[in-house]
Structure 1
């Protein structure tokens, strides 16, 4: 692609801006999007290997695992080509890709992975960024090069036979039907598990006493708990995923790990909204890629960027970097575009543009926590539309899963007490985010920025942003933040903007609800240099309110 040329020029430009970023008197300034390196594309021989010639039967009853293995092996041994899955219903166990193989699903082809969990051996792999024993993925490849999955057919992972379900997620009729189908309930009768083994494993995990072993034989009694990711690619190079639908995943749906040169184009991922851990795509410690024109409707995060968890992720030390994500739609996910929370190896040089999020819990979701470590930087977002966001339209959160600092009904409006901790290798860092041209119609909170007392979120620029939400902005433990041409139409205007223990915050040309009770509240004894400019403060009943330990000199209001 012409827009994917070389990263060197962009990195030099970013380096040239470092003096400006380091000056405490200047917030983050907008910069041009970087030019990313070209993504190497796959190439295949013209030979075609029809699955039927290797004994496969499309009757929905015959287990075709051996036929898939034979066809893929023959293709790889012959120098590569296309393994054709014709129209029909193909029941199978795990499929493993090999070098130079394009697994192509014809229109109308449905590959149904078996619900017989004994067909998925326990293997050494990873789970949420750490080494683990899991059941083998239905679709996988390891150390493969020049591989593809293409075509307009469908993969179904039989995920309903693996996943536990909360009673609160279903209506009464759905719950009764699920219970009647088999499985077991917990003692409170509010959680369904597909088997006693699933219940056992989940109970140990919930109690904080999971089995920690890399011996598959130690987990035979809880195989169903060890749900596999559906499409797992590890240390693979030159990958194409194109046009197919992948659905009903046991856990994460598409998971490239330590892969390079990835193209994901027009892929649809679908999972039930109640399906736990069913992220659409998790790019973990990968480099150089394109995700274009995909549609995701899942039970967890949509477009996810990760790089390992805590000490193991830092030891691996491989960031996810150099990705262009564009023209994607995300429905009913926890987050639309997400970085974290497992980002201990770092994330950098990401471009996200022309995407829409509809009905997700959060729109743009950047999350981490103490203990993760890792640096997330140089993130460029341009052209995002959102509707019906249950939580925050834009979220930066370094205190992931802590008490929400935005008070609920009846709670105190005072900021929560978050004690500082010493800096160490587990301290995460967020810096250099550039977000522009965002429109959101309907959210609980417009923008939430929450850093740590020992490590502020730094250098964020939001420009040309229009958000309709219940609450406006909360900026806590942040530094060098720039909001320009931002509209926050909030119903809760007490206040529209809140800044706590932050410094060097520029609020330029802010638009808000006429008649707001309070435009800006500033609190925290460490707050410095808050500037409100080019904003009509007269639309609010009160323009600025200062906390007890905030000097009047801390806030500058200038109206042109």
Structure 2
């Protein structure tokens, strides 16, 4: 069984992909404008923490953050984590806080499950994602917060997920595995300039959040590690992800919004999500939407993506019973190498939280534009499967060129749309041309993430 990723392996991976450093670009779509330096700062060692990788420091983190709470209305505060290996269980963040990791600092998750307390299931899921009932709280956790920054000089957070993966495979868990970072019902969140290793489950999970930036992060886990998604915006809006390298055992980025009847009832969509300059490999999908999308997902722009050695490049996942919608999606400027299926839509994904879902709650999939995509050594260009009686509509493919090894490059059912300049030639339901008569049916996002005044949605980052 494969072991966890080590820091040495991180350095080797990053060195081997020096040519992929194009993802660290000068042009930012979610610029992290400089805030004023927090007027109050403490170091974790002031609260008795020991960075030997052996001493459990949960109380030190909790006490430090409790102390800093008194500065929340005085300009906020910073908790500095210096060089060392800081073993800890789950701890909570507070508003107006910066958690800053030195370049040689490693926060290490405890391998004792009792150090990860049980919390209630998300209301939009109705139960733990893996098991009925509650779920283990994430290593770094927060709820109902404003103005939270988790950053550093490329310090590291290591979840030591191998023990959790083993428990999952042996079916000895009583509750759903924890994330590495989860923030709930929070606004003005920045996660940047850090490396995240070996998450027990999904790595970064903003849920019911607004105004979130994830920028310049590296996320690594073994390709055979179960469900170690990279970044999962979930029932969240105004999210910007850019300049990230991710190599994990599940989707690099997966946009979600609740599960079947619980997501429909909670009715919190994911919308206005920008993704730029993402590179990585995965045993699953590079960018995925769903399968939990019952609250709706719309206005997504993903550009400048590079996927290699992966199972699927671009994927939409749903099923009867989900309800909700996926619409107004724009994905462009994508390069794929050694990918089994470049584009996959799945309308019969299955997986329901319980037997109470309504099988007649059919999802709406409409206005999906994928353009300017190239691929080398692609086994199959597209496997696009809608739902009988519930066609996926206005699927638009433009300027796509794949070097495909399969004799049947496209397989399509229950979809309708248009195409332009696609090679190999796409399937019959998409062969009608886009221009000029169908261009209005094909979604282009360039002007849709602007406020009416033209002001960028991420101006909340400007210092007050």
TM-score range, shorter chain: 0.7 to 0.9
The aligned residue for residue 443 of structure 2 is none
CA change 1:287–1:398 in 2 (3 A) is same
The aligned residue for residue 156 of structure 1 is 158
- Equivalent residue in structure 2 for 1:476, among 393, 409, 413: 413
The aligned residue for residue 69 of structure 2 is 76
The aligned residue for residue 192 of structure 2 is 242
SS for the counterpart of 1:131 is: coil
Shift of 1:96: 1.1
Name stretches of at least 5 consecutive residues in structure 2 with no aligned partner: 1-28, 129-133, 352-357, 436-464
CA change 1:498–1:484 in 2 (3 A) is closer
Shift of 1:247: 1.1
Shift of 1:393: 0.2
Are 1:271 and 2:221 counterparts? Answer: yes
Please show how residues 146-545 of structure 1 align to structure 2 within 5 Å: 146-151=147-152, 152-164=154-166, 193=170, 198-199=171-172, 201=173, 222=174, 225-390=175-340, 392-400=341-349, 426-469=361-404, 470=406, 471-479=408-416, 481-488=417-424, 497-499=426-428, 502=429, 505-506=431-432
Name stretches of at least 5 consecutive residues in structure 1 with no aligned partner: 1-35, 165-182, 184-190, 202-221, 403-422, 489-495, 510-560
Shift of 1:437: 0.6
SS for the counterpart of 1:284 is: coil
CA change 1:377–1:40 in 2 (3 A) is farther
Paired residues, what number?
390
Shift of 1:498: 4.1
The aligned residue for residue 102 of structure 1 is 98
CA change 1:376–1:43 in 2 (3 A) is farther
**More relative contact order in 1 or in 2 (CA 8 Å, sep 6+)?**
2
CA change 1:82–1:192 in 2 (3 A) is same
Alpha-carbon distance between aligned partners in 1 of 2:37 and 2:144, rounded to the nearest angstrom = 18
The aligned residue for residue 144 of structure 1 is 145
Shift of 1:475: 2.3
Larger radius of gyration: 1
1:494-519, CA deviations, whole angstroms, 9 ceiling, x for partnerless residues? xx6544xx5x741589xxxxxxxxxx
Shift of 1:46: 3.1
1:222-260, CA deviations, whole angstroms, 9 ceiling, x for partnerless residues? 3xx531122111101100000111111111111111000
**Contact 2:81-2:102 at 8 Å conserved across structures:** yes
CA change 1:324–1:40 in 2 (3 A) is farther
Shift of 1:443: 2.1
The aligned residue for residue 125 of structure 1 is 121
The aligned residue for residue 87 of structure 2 is 91
For normalisation by structure 2, the TM-score amounts to 0.79
CA change 1:425–1:83 in 2 (3 A) is farther
Q: CA RMSD in A?
A: 2.4
CA change 1:333–1:238 in 2 (3 A) is farther
Alpha-carbon distance between aligned partners in 2 of 1:464 and 1:107, rounded to the nearest angstrom = 42
